Structure 1
């Protein structure tokens, strides 16, 4: 129980800082979407915890999380799909570079950082703090990248995005079904279902 709580808390802290950095880089207002982002991050990390502990799929967790963030930006923040991928990967790259630098500054090596649970939690906390500072300070000073992502939007993008989400759910559900992890199938369905529901409700609010 303690391990699960620690994983969820520090992973949520880490993922939320990734979200903030991605948004600040491109001058979006992240706290406008903080509530929905935290719900998606919580569900995403719950999925990740089970994947890491029940299956040998830890190497695929970053890819799965990237896809979930791409879908989040596309259906909630309403960034076109190509732009959502750019925003997600830019934040992920910046986050990764900062964490890699802190790993060697604080612990000297990856092995040392992973040697104890407390080291891991310390690294996650330090990364979240530094990532937030690196994101918010330039933003407050007026710096950032303003990209006209709307020009990258293609025809029927909303439908294509929905199809990709369903396809993603079908593929991962098949893998999990083979491994008899129906609870995890349900969690992924809830995660993607929430995104689609939020997207529909947001569209209606502007009618």
Structure 2
């Protein structure tokens, strides 16, 4: 019975994360939903095994993030770098929501460990809030809108890959340390960094696009004369 409840609430939770990431990319949540559900179930299954059979709780979120990156890069065909960026932004936003609920209503992670029902309530609250936020974001068209395939990041690739690796390692360490205030601090700062990076890159991409269009218009006029 424990496995059933775990899979049910974890799937609801990962659905909220998926919805947040899709909204960031200006996609509807229902797009690729069946493929996503299969990936979510597999991710939650590995999470259950890691937590309950292997006692490797701190590695489960790391593997879930990597699985989401695979989903967006291999199935939805988003470039792997931007799959990683948007996955981390979406995951950090959700983790920030959950950490805030945990701090306000439950006080500490220990209360979840002593009473599993509190963990399910936390997942339900966090998932519902994540879905609501993604709905509001999509309704008001809040997200990143640019051509991911044409947007090129040159020397920043190496730095970004290194940053993503460091972030994933820190995530594993924080979950291992099991400190709530570190979660809030880390998720907040990391979410802000990646959000700033994505917005800055979007503005640069829009500027480059306008410059190319302007140049093309100028060449057309020259040809006509």
The answer to whether TM tops 0.5 is yes
* Residue 12 of structure 2 is aligned to residue 13 of structure 1: yes
Q: CA offsets per residue over residues 163-195 of structure 1, 9 Å max, x none?
A: xxxxxxxxxxxxxxxxxxxxxxxxxxxxxxxxx
How far the C-alpha of 1:35 sits from its partner, in A, is: 0.8
In structure 2, list runs of 5 or more residues that go unmatched.
154-225
1-side partners of 2:105 and 2:144: how far apart?
30
State the match for 2:74 in structure 1: 75
Q: Where do residues 11-50 of structure 1 align in structure 2 (5 Å cutoff)?
A: 11-50=10-49
State the match for 2:61 in structure 1: 62
State the match for 1:133 in structure 2: 132
Work out the number of aligned pairs and report it: 153
Q: Where do residues 57-206 of structure 1 align in structure 2 (5 Å cutoff)?
A: 57-152=56-151
Which is higher, the Rg of structure 1 or of structure 2? 2
1-side partners of 2:57 and 2:32: how far apart?
28
2-side partners of 1:90 and 1:147: how far apart?
17
Structure 1 residues 112-121 or 58-67, which shifts more?
112-121
**Residue 82 of structure 1 contacts residue 152 of structure 1 at CA under 8 Å; is this kept in 2?**
no
Structure 1 stretches of 4+ with a deviation exceeding 6 A read none
**Residue 24 of structure 1 contacts residue 135 of structure 1 at CA under 8 Å; is this kept in 2?**
yes
How far the C-alpha of 1:54 sits from its partner, in A, is: 1.6
Structure 1 residues 25-34 or 102-111, which shifts more?
102-111
How far the C-alpha of 1:109 sits from its partner, in A, is: 2.6
How far the C-alpha of 1:32 sits from its partner, in A, is: 1.1
Q: Could you state the TM-score of these two structures normalised by the residue count of structure 1?
A: 0.70
How far the C-alpha of 1:105 sits from its partner, in A, is: 2.0
Q: CA offsets per residue over residues 119-173 of structure 1, 9 Å max, x none?
A: 000000000000111111121122222143213579xxxxxxxxxxxxxxxxxxx
Q: CA offsets per residue over residues 10-51 of structure 1, 9 Å max, x none?
A: 011101110001111221122111111011101111111112
How far the C-alpha of 1:57 sits from its partner, in A, is: 1.8
**Residue 16 of structure 1 contacts residue 41 of structure 1 at CA under 8 Å; is this kept in 2?**
yes
